[in-house]
Structure 1
Protein backbone atom coordinates (compact mmCIF):
# COMPACT_ATOMS: atom_id res chain seq x y z
CA UNK A 1 0.00 0.00 0.00
CA UNK A 2 1.31 3.47 -0.87
CA UNK A 3 1.77 6.14 1.77
CA UNK A 4 1.93 5.68 5.52
CA UNK A 5 -1.55 4.24 6.11
CA UNK A 6 -1.55 0.70 7.55
CA UNK A 7 -3.34 -1.92 5.48
CA UNK A 8 -4.86 -5.13 6.82
CA UNK A 9 -3.50 -8.44 5.59
CA UNK A 10 -6.44 -9.73 3.57
CA UNK A 11 -7.02 -13.39 2.82
CA UNK A 12 -7.25 -13.75 -0.98
CA UNK A 13 -7.39 -9.96 -1.61
CA UNK A 14 -7.96 -10.42 -5.36
CA UNK A 15 -11.42 -11.89 -5.66
CA UNK A 16 -13.92 -12.64 -8.38
CA UNK A 17 -17.44 -11.95 -7.15
CA UNK A 18 -19.92 -12.90 -9.81
CA UNK A 19 -18.77 -11.29 -13.05
CA UNK A 20 -16.45 -8.68 -11.51
CA UNK A 21 -12.98 -8.86 -10.02
CA UNK A 22 -11.75 -6.77 -7.10
CA UNK A 23 -8.32 -6.19 -5.58
CA UNK A 24 -9.16 -5.34 -2.00
CA UNK A 25 -5.58 -4.32 -1.25
CA UNK A 26 -6.11 -1.22 -3.36
CA UNK A 27 -9.80 -0.96 -4.15
CA UNK A 28 -13.05 -0.20 -2.31
CA UNK A 29 -16.31 -1.67 -3.60
CA UNK A 30 -19.49 0.39 -3.38
CA UNK A 31 -22.63 -1.62 -2.57
CA UNK A 32 -25.98 0.03 -3.28
CA UNK A 33 -28.99 -0.74 -1.09
CA UNK A 34 -32.28 -1.76 -2.67
CA UNK A 35 -34.93 -2.74 -0.14
CA UNK A 36 -38.10 -4.31 -1.47
CA UNK A 37 -39.81 -3.82 1.85
CA UNK A 38 -42.62 -1.50 2.96
CA UNK A 39 -40.81 -0.53 6.17
CA UNK A 40 -37.09 -0.03 5.50
CA UNK A 41 -35.69 2.57 7.87
CA UNK A 42 -34.35 4.97 5.21
CA UNK A 43 -36.41 4.71 2.03
CA UNK A 44 -39.69 3.93 3.82
CA UNK A 45 -40.99 1.68 1.05
CA UNK A 46 -40.06 3.84 -1.95
CA UNK A 47 -38.60 0.80 -3.72
CA UNK A 48 -41.23 -1.72 -2.64
CA UNK A 49 -42.84 -1.95 -6.08
CA UNK A 50 -41.00 -4.26 -8.48
CA UNK A 51 -40.38 -1.70 -11.23
CA UNK A 52 -39.17 0.89 -8.71
CA UNK A 53 -36.77 -1.62 -7.14
CA UNK A 54 -35.30 -2.57 -10.52
CA UNK A 55 -35.02 1.09 -11.56
CA UNK A 56 -33.24 1.95 -8.29
CA UNK A 57 -30.75 -0.89 -8.83
CA UNK A 58 -29.91 0.03 -12.42
CA UNK A 59 -29.65 3.73 -11.51
CA UNK A 60 -27.19 2.88 -8.74
CA UNK A 61 -25.01 0.94 -11.16
CA UNK A 62 -25.10 3.87 -13.62
CA UNK A 63 -23.88 6.11 -10.76
CA UNK A 64 -20.89 3.86 -10.15
CA UNK A 65 -22.05 1.14 -7.76
CA UNK A 66 -20.06 -2.07 -8.14
CA UNK A 67 -22.64 -4.09 -6.29
CA UNK A 68 -26.37 -4.12 -5.54
CA UNK A 69 -27.75 -5.57 -2.30
CA UNK A 70 -31.40 -6.64 -2.59
CA UNK A 71 -33.48 -7.39 0.49
CA UNK A 72 -37.06 -8.39 1.16
CA UNK A 73 -37.18 -8.40 4.98
CA UNK A 74 -35.90 -5.58 7.18
CA UNK A 75 -33.68 -6.16 10.22
CA UNK A 76 -35.96 -4.20 12.57
CA UNK A 77 -38.06 -6.03 15.14
CA UNK A 78 -40.87 -3.52 14.51
CA UNK A 79 -42.45 -5.47 11.67
CA UNK A 80 -44.80 -8.35 11.05
CA UNK A 81 -43.26 -11.71 10.13
CA UNK A 82 -43.48 -12.78 6.50
CA UNK A 83 -43.37 -16.27 5.03
CA UNK A 84 -40.44 -17.71 3.14
CA UNK A 85 -42.57 -17.71 0.00
CA UNK A 86 -43.38 -14.01 0.36
CA UNK A 87 -39.74 -13.10 0.89
CA UNK A 88 -38.77 -15.08 -2.22
CA UNK A 89 -41.52 -13.32 -4.18
CA UNK A 90 -40.07 -9.98 -3.11
CA UNK A 91 -36.42 -10.60 -4.00
CA UNK A 92 -36.19 -13.20 -6.77
CA UNK A 93 -37.93 -11.17 -9.52
CA UNK A 94 -35.77 -8.12 -8.76
CA UNK A 95 -32.59 -10.18 -8.84
CA UNK A 96 -33.53 -11.82 -12.13
CA UNK A 97 -34.26 -8.50 -13.84
CA UNK A 98 -31.18 -6.76 -12.45
CA UNK A 99 -29.03 -9.74 -13.44
CA UNK A 100 -30.28 -9.41 -17.01
CA UNK A 101 -29.41 -5.71 -17.07
CA UNK A 102 -25.93 -5.53 -15.50
CA UNK A 103 -22.71 -7.38 -14.70
CA UNK A 104 -22.56 -5.76 -11.24
CA UNK A 105 -22.32 -8.00 -8.20
CA UNK A 106 -25.72 -8.88 -6.76
CA UNK A 107 -26.26 -9.95 -3.17
CA UNK A 108 -29.41 -11.03 -1.39
CA UNK A 109 -29.94 -9.68 2.12
CA UNK A 110 -31.50 -12.70 3.86
CA UNK A 111 -30.99 -15.10 6.74
CA UNK A 112 -33.21 -17.88 5.39
CA UNK A 113 -31.69 -20.79 3.44
CA UNK A 114 -34.69 -21.23 1.14
CA UNK A 115 -34.59 -17.55 0.17
CA UNK A 116 -30.83 -17.67 -0.33
CA UNK A 117 -31.13 -20.70 -2.60
CA UNK A 118 -33.89 -19.09 -4.69
CA UNK A 119 -31.91 -15.85 -4.92
CA UNK A 120 -28.77 -17.59 -6.17
CA UNK A 121 -30.89 -19.46 -8.71
CA UNK A 122 -32.25 -16.09 -9.88
CA UNK A 123 -28.75 -14.69 -10.34
CA UNK A 124 -27.39 -13.52 -6.97
CA UNK A 125 -23.66 -13.91 -6.37
CA UNK A 126 -23.52 -13.27 -2.62
CA UNK A 127 -25.59 -14.13 0.46
CA UNK A 128 -25.56 -11.16 2.85
CA UNK A 129 -26.65 -12.64 6.17
CA UNK A 130 -27.22 -10.27 9.09
CA UNK A 131 -27.85 -13.35 11.23
CA UNK A 132 -24.25 -14.57 10.90
CA UNK A 133 -25.10 -17.94 9.28
CA UNK A 134 -26.96 -19.04 12.40
CA UNK A 135 -30.10 -20.26 10.62
CA UNK A 136 -29.74 -24.05 10.06
CA UNK A 137 -28.98 -24.82 6.44
CA UNK A 138 -27.89 -21.45 5.12
CA UNK A 139 -24.16 -22.14 5.29
CA UNK A 140 -24.77 -25.39 3.44
CA UNK A 141 -26.66 -23.52 0.71
CA UNK A 142 -23.71 -21.17 0.29
CA UNK A 143 -21.25 -24.05 0.14
CA UNK A 144 -23.35 -26.03 -2.35
CA UNK A 145 -24.03 -23.10 -4.68
CA UNK A 146 -20.57 -21.55 -4.48
CA UNK A 147 -22.05 -18.21 -3.43
CA UNK A 148 -19.92 -15.82 -1.43
CA UNK A 149 -21.19 -14.85 2.04
CA UNK A 150 -21.19 -11.74 4.19
CA UNK A 151 -21.04 -12.86 7.83
CA UNK A 152 -22.48 -10.12 10.04
CA UNK A 153 -22.55 -9.62 13.79
CA UNK A 154 -25.85 -9.13 15.58
CA UNK A 155 -27.13 -10.37 18.91
CA UNK A 156 -30.69 -11.25 17.99
CA UNK A 157 -30.81 -11.33 14.22
CA UNK A 158 -33.46 -9.97 11.86
CA UNK A 159 -36.91 -9.34 13.31
CA UNK A 160 -35.88 -10.13 16.89
CA UNK A 161 -36.04 -7.50 19.61
CA UNK A 162 -33.01 -6.99 21.86
CA UNK A 163 -33.67 -4.51 24.66
CA UNK A 164 -30.77 -2.37 25.88
CA UNK A 165 -27.90 -4.36 24.33
CA UNK A 166 -24.77 -4.30 26.45
CA UNK A 167 -21.16 -5.35 25.96
CA UNK A 168 -18.16 -5.45 28.27
CA UNK A 169 -16.03 -4.50 25.24
CA UNK A 170 -18.05 -4.25 22.05
CA UNK A 171 -15.12 -4.48 19.65
CA UNK A 172 -13.55 -7.52 21.30
CA UNK A 173 -16.89 -9.30 21.53
CA UNK A 174 -17.79 -8.55 17.91
CA UNK A 175 -14.36 -9.71 16.73
CA UNK A 176 -14.61 -12.94 18.73
CA UNK A 177 -18.07 -13.61 17.32
CA UNK A 178 -16.92 -13.02 13.74
CA UNK A 179 -13.94 -15.35 14.18
CA UNK A 180 -16.25 -18.06 15.54
CA UNK A 181 -18.76 -17.66 12.70
CA UNK A 182 -15.99 -17.67 10.09
CA UNK A 183 -14.72 -20.94 11.57
CA UNK A 184 -18.26 -22.30 11.30
CA UNK A 185 -18.46 -21.20 7.65
CA UNK A 186 -15.17 -22.88 6.83
CA UNK A 187 -16.27 -26.09 8.53
CA UNK A 188 -19.49 -26.02 6.49
CA UNK A 189 -17.43 -26.02 3.31
CA UNK A 190 -17.44 -22.34 2.36
CA UNK A 191 -14.09 -21.46 0.78
CA UNK A 192 -11.97 -18.76 2.50
CA UNK A 193 -12.00 -16.62 -0.65
CA UNK A 194 -15.81 -16.56 -0.47
CA UNK A 195 -16.01 -15.01 3.04
CA UNK A 196 -16.57 -11.33 3.89
CA UNK A 197 -17.19 -9.98 7.40
CA UNK A 198 -19.35 -7.13 8.73
CA UNK A 199 -19.29 -5.88 12.36
CA UNK A 200 -22.96 -4.87 12.12
CA UNK A 201 -23.02 -1.20 13.09
CA UNK A 202 -26.30 -0.35 14.87
CA UNK A 203 -27.51 -3.97 14.72
CA UNK A 204 -28.39 -4.50 18.40
CA UNK A 205 -25.87 -1.77 19.27
CA UNK A 206 -26.33 1.76 20.55
CA UNK A 207 -24.60 4.91 19.29
CA UNK A 208 -21.63 4.54 21.63
CA UNK A 209 -21.11 0.93 20.51
CA UNK A 210 -21.17 1.90 16.83
CA UNK A 211 -18.81 4.83 17.36
CA UNK A 212 -16.39 2.54 19.22
CA UNK A 213 -16.57 -0.05 16.42
CA UNK A 214 -15.70 2.67 13.91
CA UNK A 215 -12.91 4.10 16.07
CA UNK A 216 -11.29 0.67 16.50
CA UNK A 217 -12.29 -0.88 13.18
CA UNK A 218 -8.72 -2.01 12.52
CA UNK A 219 -9.30 -4.68 15.20
CA UNK A 220 -12.07 -6.08 13.00
CA UNK A 221 -10.24 -5.78 9.68
CA UNK A 222 -7.24 -7.52 11.28
CA UNK A 223 -9.29 -10.74 11.30
CA UNK A 224 -8.15 -10.98 7.70
CA UNK A 225 -11.26 -11.17 5.55
CA UNK A 226 -12.50 -8.23 3.47
CA UNK A 227 -14.59 -6.07 5.79
CA UNK A 228 -17.94 -4.59 4.78
CA UNK A 229 -19.41 -1.72 6.76
CA UNK A 230 -23.05 -0.65 6.58
CA UNK A 231 -23.04 2.83 8.12
CA UNK A 232 -25.29 4.66 5.71
CA UNK A 233 -27.73 7.09 7.37
CA UNK A 234 -27.86 4.97 10.51
CA UNK A 235 -29.11 6.17 13.86
CA UNK A 236 -25.66 6.43 15.42
CA UNK A 237 -24.88 9.11 12.81
CA UNK A 238 -28.20 10.83 13.40
CA UNK A 239 -27.75 10.83 17.18
CA UNK A 240 -24.13 11.96 16.95
CA UNK A 241 -25.00 14.94 14.75
CA UNK A 242 -28.60 15.47 15.91
CA UNK A 243 -29.80 15.02 12.33
CA UNK A 244 -33.04 13.45 11.08
CA UNK A 245 -33.05 10.54 8.66
CA UNK A 246 -32.88 12.64 5.51
CA UNK A 247 -29.94 14.83 6.63
CA UNK A 248 -27.18 12.34 7.36
CA UNK A 249 -25.27 12.23 4.05
CA UNK A 250 -22.25 14.24 5.22
CA UNK A 251 -21.98 12.26 8.44
CA UNK A 252 -22.25 9.02 6.49
CA UNK A 253 -19.47 10.01 4.09
CA UNK A 254 -17.21 11.07 6.97
CA UNK A 255 -17.78 7.78 8.80
CA UNK A 256 -17.17 5.79 5.62
CA UNK A 257 -13.90 7.63 4.98
CA UNK A 258 -12.71 6.77 8.49
CA UNK A 259 -13.75 3.15 7.96
CA UNK A 260 -11.80 2.87 4.70
CA UNK A 261 -8.69 4.36 6.30
CA UNK A 262 -9.02 1.71 9.01
CA UNK A 263 -9.29 -1.11 6.50
CA UNK A 264 -12.91 -1.43 5.32
CA UNK A 265 -13.12 -2.47 1.68
CA UNK A 266 -16.87 -2.66 0.95
CA UNK A 267 -19.31 0.15 1.75
CA UNK A 268 -23.06 -0.47 1.82
CA UNK A 269 -24.71 2.86 1.03
CA UNK A 270 -27.85 4.69 -0.05
CA UNK A 271 -26.18 7.74 -1.68
CA UNK A 272 -24.12 6.08 -4.41
CA UNK A 273 -22.85 9.01 -6.48
CA UNK A 274 -21.56 11.00 -3.50
CA UNK A 275 -19.91 7.92 -2.00
CA UNK A 276 -18.24 6.95 -5.27
CA UNK A 277 -16.71 10.42 -5.64
CA UNK A 278 -15.40 10.47 -2.06
CA UNK A 279 -13.95 6.97 -2.24
CA UNK A 280 -12.33 7.44 -5.66
CA UNK A 281 -10.63 10.50 -4.13
CA UNK A 282 -9.36 8.44 -1.19
CA UNK A 283 -8.02 5.78 -3.56
CA UNK A 284 -6.13 8.44 -5.53
CA UNK A 285 -4.66 10.08 -2.42
CA UNK A 286 -3.47 6.68 -1.21
CA UNK A 287 -1.84 6.00 -4.57
CA UNK A 288 -4.18 3.18 -5.53
CA UNK A 289 -5.39 4.87 -8.74
CA UNK A 290 -4.44 7.83 -10.88
CA UNK A 291 -6.46 10.98 -11.56
CA UNK A 292 -9.18 10.48 -14.15
CA UNK A 293 -8.37 13.66 -16.07
CA UNK A 294 -4.83 14.86 -15.26
CA UNK A 295 -3.40 17.94 -16.94
CA UNK A 296 0.25 17.47 -17.80
CA UNK A 297 0.85 20.98 -19.21
CA UNK A 298 1.01 22.74 -15.84
CA UNK A 299 3.66 25.27 -16.89
Structure 2
Protein backbone atom coordinates (compact mmCIF):
# COMPACT_ATOMS: atom_id res chain seq x y z
CA UNK A 1 0.00 0.00 0.00
CA UNK A 2 2.80 2.42 0.88
CA UNK A 3 4.59 1.66 -2.37
CA UNK A 4 1.42 2.24 -4.36
CA UNK A 5 0.98 5.66 -2.73
CA UNK A 6 4.53 6.61 -3.75
CA UNK A 7 3.88 5.54 -7.33
CA UNK A 8 0.57 7.41 -7.54
CA UNK A 9 1.81 10.60 -5.88
CA UNK A 10 5.03 10.89 -7.88
CA UNK A 11 3.19 10.21 -11.13
CA UNK A 12 0.60 12.86 -10.17
CA UNK A 13 3.43 15.38 -9.93
CA UNK A 14 4.55 14.50 -13.47
CA UNK A 15 7.44 12.22 -12.59
CA UNK A 16 8.22 8.82 -14.09
CA UNK A 17 8.23 5.60 -12.09
CA UNK A 18 9.96 2.34 -13.07
CA UNK A 19 9.32 -0.81 -11.06
CA UNK A 20 12.32 -2.91 -10.06
CA UNK A 21 12.76 -6.23 -8.30
CA UNK A 22 13.24 -6.06 -4.52
CA UNK A 23 16.62 -6.59 -2.95
CA UNK A 24 17.56 -9.95 -1.49
CA UNK A 25 16.69 -10.62 2.19
CA UNK A 26 17.16 -9.00 4.62
CA UNK A 27 17.07 -5.90 2.41
CA UNK A 28 13.96 -6.77 0.43
CA UNK A 29 12.16 -3.61 1.53
CA UNK A 30 14.92 -1.28 0.32
CA UNK A 31 14.71 -1.28 -3.47
CA UNK A 32 11.24 -1.10 -4.94
CA UNK A 33 11.11 1.60 -7.62
CA UNK A 34 13.21 4.11 -9.52
CA UNK A 35 11.86 7.66 -9.58
CA UNK A 36 12.85 9.99 -12.42
CA UNK A 37 11.84 13.64 -12.47
CA UNK A 38 12.88 17.27 -12.36
CA UNK A 39 14.29 19.00 -9.30
CA UNK A 40 10.97 20.82 -8.85
CA UNK A 41 9.02 17.56 -8.94
CA UNK A 42 11.29 16.01 -6.33
CA UNK A 43 11.03 19.12 -4.13
CA UNK A 44 7.23 18.94 -4.21
CA UNK A 45 7.24 15.23 -3.57
CA UNK A 46 9.56 15.56 -0.56
CA UNK A 47 7.40 18.36 0.78
CA UNK A 48 4.32 16.15 0.72
CA UNK A 49 5.87 12.78 1.63
CA UNK A 50 6.17 11.32 5.12
CA UNK A 51 9.37 12.50 6.87
CA UNK A 52 11.24 9.13 6.72
CA UNK A 53 10.54 8.77 2.99
CA UNK A 54 11.43 12.40 2.30
CA UNK A 55 14.73 11.97 4.16
CA UNK A 56 15.58 8.83 2.19
CA UNK A 57 14.84 10.53 -1.13
CA UNK A 58 16.86 13.60 -0.12
CA UNK A 59 19.87 11.45 0.82
CA UNK A 60 19.69 9.54 -2.45
CA UNK A 61 19.41 12.74 -4.51
CA UNK A 62 22.40 14.23 -2.73
CA UNK A 63 24.46 11.13 -3.49
CA UNK A 64 23.36 11.21 -7.13
CA UNK A 65 23.91 14.87 -7.91
CA UNK A 66 26.95 15.73 -5.82
CA UNK A 67 30.47 15.11 -7.07
CA UNK A 68 31.92 11.94 -5.55
CA UNK A 69 34.22 12.61 -2.60
CA UNK A 70 37.89 11.72 -2.59
CA UNK A 71 38.37 8.04 -1.83
CA UNK A 72 41.23 6.93 0.40
CA UNK A 73 42.46 3.36 0.00
CA UNK A 74 45.46 2.57 2.14
CA UNK A 75 47.87 5.47 1.73
CA UNK A 76 46.47 6.35 -1.69
CA UNK A 77 43.77 8.87 -2.51
CA UNK A 78 41.53 8.85 -5.59
CA UNK A 79 39.76 11.93 -6.96
CA UNK A 80 37.25 10.43 -9.37
CA UNK A 81 35.41 13.73 -9.80
CA UNK A 82 38.39 15.44 -11.41
CA UNK A 83 40.36 12.80 -13.30
CA UNK A 84 40.42 9.38 -14.93
CA UNK A 85 42.71 6.67 -13.56
CA UNK A 86 44.46 4.14 -15.78
CA UNK A 87 44.86 0.60 -14.50
CA UNK A 88 47.54 -1.69 -15.83
CA UNK A 89 46.30 -5.29 -16.01
CA UNK A 90 48.90 -7.83 -14.90
CA UNK A 91 47.62 -11.37 -15.32
CA UNK A 92 49.91 -13.92 -13.73
CA UNK A 93 48.16 -16.81 -15.48
CA UNK A 94 49.26 -19.18 -18.26
CA UNK A 95 45.88 -18.98 -20.03
CA UNK A 96 44.82 -15.32 -19.87
CA UNK A 97 42.49 -14.34 -22.72
CA UNK A 98 43.84 -10.79 -22.36
CA UNK A 99 47.56 -11.43 -22.98
CA UNK A 100 47.59 -15.19 -23.74
CA UNK A 101 49.85 -15.91 -20.78
CA UNK A 102 52.59 -13.65 -22.07
CA UNK A 103 53.49 -12.34 -18.62
CA UNK A 104 53.09 -15.53 -16.60
CA UNK A 105 55.83 -16.07 -14.04
CA UNK A 106 57.23 -13.77 -11.32
CA UNK A 107 60.17 -12.25 -13.20
CA UNK A 108 58.23 -11.72 -16.42
CA UNK A 109 55.32 -10.22 -14.49
CA UNK A 110 57.59 -7.81 -12.61
CA UNK A 111 59.29 -6.74 -15.83
CA UNK A 112 55.86 -5.97 -17.30
CA UNK A 113 54.95 -4.02 -14.15
CA UNK A 114 58.08 -1.90 -14.66
CA UNK A 115 56.85 -1.10 -18.18
CA UNK A 116 53.38 -0.20 -16.91
CA UNK A 117 54.76 2.22 -14.36
CA UNK A 118 56.97 3.88 -16.98
CA UNK A 119 53.96 4.14 -19.29
CA UNK A 120 51.98 5.97 -16.61
CA UNK A 121 49.72 3.36 -15.01
CA UNK A 122 48.03 4.78 -11.92
CA UNK A 123 46.96 1.39 -10.56
CA UNK A 124 48.33 -2.12 -11.11
CA UNK A 125 45.71 -4.85 -11.02
CA UNK A 126 46.93 -8.41 -10.49
CA UNK A 127 44.93 -11.43 -11.63
CA UNK A 128 45.62 -15.09 -10.92
CA UNK A 129 42.78 -16.82 -12.75
CA UNK A 130 41.48 -16.37 -16.28
CA UNK A 131 37.86 -15.33 -16.79
CA UNK A 132 37.58 -17.75 -19.70
CA UNK A 133 35.08 -20.57 -19.58
CA UNK A 134 36.31 -23.61 -17.69
CA UNK A 135 36.87 -25.07 -14.25
CA UNK A 136 38.05 -22.66 -11.53
CA UNK A 137 41.49 -23.18 -10.07
CA UNK A 138 41.85 -23.89 -6.32
CA UNK A 139 42.03 -20.81 -4.11
CA UNK A 140 45.41 -21.94 -2.76
CA UNK A 141 46.91 -21.96 -6.25
CA UNK A 142 45.44 -18.54 -7.03
CA UNK A 143 46.88 -17.15 -3.80
CA UNK A 144 50.32 -18.51 -4.70
CA UNK A 145 50.10 -16.66 -8.01
CA UNK A 146 48.95 -13.28 -6.72
CA UNK A 147 50.00 -12.72 -3.09
CA UNK A 148 53.82 -12.76 -3.48
CA UNK A 149 53.56 -10.66 -6.63
CA UNK A 150 51.34 -8.09 -4.89
CA UNK A 151 53.74 -7.87 -1.95
CA UNK A 152 56.67 -7.18 -4.28
CA UNK A 153 54.72 -4.59 -6.29
CA UNK A 154 53.78 -2.75 -3.09
CA UNK A 155 57.43 -2.80 -2.03
CA UNK A 156 58.72 -1.52 -5.38
CA UNK A 157 56.24 1.15 -6.38
CA UNK A 158 54.29 4.00 -4.88
CA UNK A 159 51.19 2.80 -6.72
CA UNK A 160 47.96 1.30 -5.42
CA UNK A 161 47.70 -2.40 -6.21
CA UNK A 162 44.39 -4.16 -6.88
CA UNK A 163 43.51 -7.83 -7.19
CA UNK A 164 41.05 -9.38 -9.62
CA UNK A 165 39.29 -12.23 -7.81
CA UNK A 166 35.84 -13.41 -6.81
CA UNK A 167 37.09 -15.73 -4.05
CA UNK A 168 36.98 -14.22 -0.52
CA UNK A 169 39.98 -16.23 0.68
CA UNK A 170 42.08 -14.94 -2.22
CA UNK A 171 40.91 -11.39 -1.57
CA UNK A 172 41.89 -11.71 2.09
CA UNK A 173 45.38 -12.95 1.23
CA UNK A 174 45.80 -10.19 -1.36
CA UNK A 175 44.77 -7.49 1.12
CA UNK A 176 47.19 -8.89 3.69
CA UNK A 177 49.90 -8.68 1.00
CA UNK A 178 49.11 -5.00 0.43
CA UNK A 179 46.28 -4.79 -2.12
CA UNK A 180 43.88 -1.92 -1.44
CA UNK A 181 41.19 -2.73 -4.00
CA UNK A 182 39.38 -5.94 -5.00
CA UNK A 183 37.84 -6.27 -8.45
CA UNK A 184 35.12 -8.93 -8.13
CA UNK A 185 33.63 -9.96 -11.48
CA UNK A 186 30.95 -12.02 -9.72
CA UNK A 187 29.45 -8.85 -8.27
CA UNK A 188 30.27 -9.96 -4.72
CA UNK A 189 28.07 -13.04 -5.09
CA UNK A 190 29.72 -14.68 -2.08
CA UNK A 191 28.47 -12.95 1.11
CA UNK A 192 31.85 -13.55 2.76
CA UNK A 193 33.43 -11.08 0.33
CA UNK A 194 31.66 -8.18 2.06
CA UNK A 195 33.12 -9.20 5.41
CA UNK A 196 36.60 -9.50 3.91
CA UNK A 197 36.38 -6.01 2.40
CA UNK A 198 34.99 -4.47 5.58
CA UNK A 199 37.55 -6.01 7.95
CA UNK A 200 40.41 -5.40 5.52
CA UNK A 201 39.48 -1.72 5.09
CA UNK A 202 39.77 -2.16 1.32
CA UNK A 203 37.73 -0.94 -1.60
CA UNK A 204 35.74 -3.10 -4.00
CA UNK A 205 34.68 -2.98 -7.63
CA UNK A 206 31.32 -4.74 -7.98
CA UNK A 207 30.75 -5.92 -11.54
CA UNK A 208 27.39 -6.86 -12.97
CA UNK A 209 27.40 -10.47 -14.09
CA UNK A 210 24.46 -12.61 -15.17
CA UNK A 211 25.38 -16.11 -14.03
CA UNK A 212 28.67 -17.19 -12.50
CA UNK A 213 32.32 -16.53 -13.38
CA UNK A 214 33.95 -18.84 -15.93
CA UNK A 215 30.63 -19.86 -17.47
CA UNK A 216 29.66 -19.15 -21.07
CA UNK A 217 28.47 -15.54 -21.12
CA UNK A 218 25.41 -15.57 -23.36
CA UNK A 219 23.84 -12.34 -24.59
CA UNK A 220 21.13 -11.09 -22.26
CA UNK A 221 17.73 -10.01 -23.57
CA UNK A 222 15.81 -7.80 -21.15
CA UNK A 223 13.46 -4.85 -21.85
CA UNK A 224 15.66 -2.28 -20.08
CA UNK A 225 19.28 -3.30 -19.76
CA UNK A 226 20.21 -0.22 -17.72
CA UNK A 227 17.41 -0.70 -15.18
CA UNK A 228 18.34 -4.36 -14.79
CA UNK A 229 22.05 -3.62 -14.31
CA UNK A 230 21.34 -0.72 -11.94
CA UNK A 231 19.06 -2.87 -9.78
CA UNK A 232 21.74 -5.55 -9.47
CA UNK A 233 24.50 -3.06 -8.61
CA UNK A 234 22.26 -1.19 -6.14
CA UNK A 235 21.36 -4.43 -4.38
CA UNK A 236 24.94 -5.66 -4.06
CA UNK A 237 26.20 -2.22 -3.00
CA UNK A 238 23.54 -2.01 -0.31
CA UNK A 239 24.57 -5.42 0.98
CA UNK A 240 28.18 -4.20 1.15
CA UNK A 241 27.14 -1.15 3.17
CA UNK A 242 25.11 -3.34 5.53
CA UNK A 243 28.27 -5.39 6.14
CA UNK A 244 30.21 -2.28 7.13
CA UNK A 245 31.89 -1.18 3.89
CA UNK A 246 31.79 2.65 3.56
CA UNK A 247 29.79 3.78 0.53
CA UNK A 248 32.70 5.78 -0.91
CA UNK A 249 34.83 2.61 -1.11
CA UNK A 250 32.36 0.89 -3.43
CA UNK A 251 32.90 1.22 -7.19
CA UNK A 252 30.61 -0.34 -9.79
CA UNK A 253 31.24 -1.86 -13.21
CA UNK A 254 28.35 -2.63 -15.63
CA UNK A 255 30.31 -5.56 -17.08
CA UNK A 256 30.05 -4.47 -20.70
CA UNK A 257 31.97 -7.47 -22.05
CA UNK A 258 30.04 -10.07 -20.08
CA UNK A 259 26.78 -11.12 -21.74
CA UNK A 260 25.86 -7.74 -23.20
CA UNK A 261 25.72 -7.49 -26.97
CA UNK A 262 27.35 -4.34 -28.43
CA UNK A 263 23.97 -3.38 -29.93
CA UNK A 264 22.65 -2.85 -26.39
CA UNK A 265 24.40 0.48 -26.09
CA UNK A 266 22.10 2.03 -23.50
CA UNK A 267 24.36 0.91 -20.63
CA UNK A 268 27.48 2.62 -21.99
CA UNK A 269 25.55 5.69 -23.12
CA UNK A 270 24.14 6.30 -19.65
CA UNK A 271 27.26 5.66 -17.59
CA UNK A 272 27.89 9.39 -17.34
CA UNK A 273 24.57 10.00 -15.59
CA UNK A 274 25.72 8.53 -12.23
CA UNK A 275 22.12 7.43 -11.79
CA UNK A 276 23.01 4.69 -9.29
CA UNK A 277 22.79 6.19 -5.82
CA UNK A 278 23.18 4.15 -2.65
CA UNK A 279 22.22 5.84 0.58
CA UNK A 280 24.07 4.68 3.67
Report the TM-score when normalising by structure 1: 0.68
1:61-76 matches, cutoff 5 A: 61-76=117-132
* Structure 2 counterpart of 1:29: 85
Residue-by-residue CA offset, 1:192-234 (whole Å, 9 max, x unaligned)? 121111111111222223x332122234x22248xxxxxxxxx
Pick from 193, 200, 211 the counterpart of residue 145 of structure 1. 200
**SS in structure 1 at match of 2:197:** helix
Residue ranges of structure 2 left out of the alignment (5+ in a row): 1-63
Q: Does 1:168 align with 2:211?
A: no
* Structure 1 counterpart of 2:176: 121
Distance 2:107 2:200 in 1: 28
Distance 1:194 1:11 in 2: 15
* Structure 2 counterpart of 1:50: 106
Does the CA-based 8 Å contact 2:162-2:183 persist in structure 1?
yes
1:1-299 matches, cutoff 5 A: 9=65, 12-77=68-133, 79-209=134-264, 211-219=265-273, 221-224=274-277
Q: Radius of gyration: which is bigger?
A: 2
Residue 144 of structure 1, CA deviation:
0.7
Residue 98 of structure 1, CA deviation:
0.5
Residue ranges of structure 1 left out of the alignment (5+ in a row): 1-7, 226-299
Distance 2:194 2:214 in 1: 20
Residue 30 of structure 1, CA deviation:
0.9
Residue 73 of structure 1, CA deviation:
1.2
Distance 2:203 2:127 in 1: 16
Distance 2:83 2:232 in 1: 26
Does the CA-based 8 Å contact 1:58-1:102 persist in structure 2?
no
How much is the aligned-residue C-alpha RMSD, in angstroms?
A: 1.8
Distance 2:109 2:186 in 1: 24
* Structure 1 counterpart of 2:61: none
Distance 2:121 2:178 in 1: 17
**SS in structure 1 at match of 2:125:** strand
Does the CA-based 8 Å contact 2:68-2:81 persist in structure 1?
no
How many correspondences in the alignment? 215
Residue-by-residue CA offset, 1:66-122 (whole Å, 9 max, x unaligned)? 101111112221x33210101101111110110111121111100001000000011
- Structure 1 residue runs of 4 or more that deviate by more than 4 Å after TM superposition: none
Does the CA-based 8 Å contact 2:67-2:81 persist in structure 1?
no
Residue-by-residue CA offset, 1:128-159 (whole Å, 9 max, x unaligned)? 10111111311100011101111110112321
Does the CA-based 8 Å contact 2:123-2:161 persist in structure 1?
yes
